A = this chain, B = another copy of it.
Amino acid sequence: MATHDADPTRVLKGRDDTTCRVREVLDRVGSKWSLTVIHELGPGTRRFTEIKDAVPGISQRMLTETLRLLERDGLISRTVHPVVPPRVDYELTPLGRTLLDTVRTLLDWALTHIDDIDKARDAYDTRT
């Protein structure tokens, strides 16, 4: 297994370890804040507070945890500068950058079809 599968239509079909790992990765990537944080680091390096301010609604705790998980997965890097006051920089790794492209595909889909979804919801809500 391991590398690239020619038929992505089957990756969720089985119940083996690979399947579970893919689900695991999707859970990480699809979690509430990960996509937003990754996207926020797209343009370049940013500090903790900068990210916090840029992501409305995220708490200190959640940002810390999200950054840690993404760092553990090798998607972002964390650089601590031994100065006072402390300064910590976060940036996408090359691996994280490949995900950024995929994320943009998703964002693009959302933007493109958001109106269709709105109409579908209105129709559903009125006929019930």
Contact = CB atoms under 8 A, between A and B. Distances in A.
A81 interface: no
A73 B2 contact: no
Main secondary structure of the interface of A (DSSP, over half): helix
A124 to B, nearest CB: 4
Give the oligomeric copy count.
2
A93 to B, nearest CB: 8
Interface footprint category on A: 35 or more
A86 interface: no
Contacts of A105: 102, 105-106
A124 B71 contact: yes
A22 B114 contact: yes
10 contacts: A3-B115, A22-B107, A22-B110, A25-B113, A74-B117, A75-B120, A98-B113, A99-B109, A105-B105, A105-B106
